[in-house]
Amino acid sequence: MLYVGENTPRWQDGDPRRIDLQTWRVPDLVGEISDTTLASDLDEQKHLYEALGIPEYWVIDVKGERVFAFQIKSAGAV
């Protein structure tokens, strides 16, 4: 997990798949690089990030060479 802010990018220690909300604020953007997990990234992961209030979520489909970008509004995803 790479955090950018306060003038210096910093990598989160520990498991990079977990966001420590006790230490860090909710990210402004989350990106997933999908090879074999595209269906999950476009469904379960999207709903998880939506529930956490993350305002923007990108999925990079490496096999299909596409990028899916979602902007999450307060009432749900676009």
pLDDT higher at 68 or 23: 68
Long-range contacts of 34-43 (CB under 8 A, 24+ apart): 34/59, 34/60, 34/61, 34/62, 34/63, 35/62, 35/63, 38/63, 38/64, 42/68
Q: Which of 20, 40, 21 is nearest to 32 (CA)?
A: 40
In the prediction, which pLDDT does 28 show? 87
Number of domains in the chain: 1
Could you list the residue range(s) of the whole structural domain that residue 25 is in? 2-77
pTM summary value:
0.72
Q: What is the mean pLDDT of residues 22-38?
A: 86
In the prediction, which pLDDT does 23 show? 75
In which residue are the tokens 């956490």 written?
A: 52
pLDDT higher at 64 or 21: 64
16 pLDDT more than 80: no
In the prediction, which pLDDT does 45 show? 92
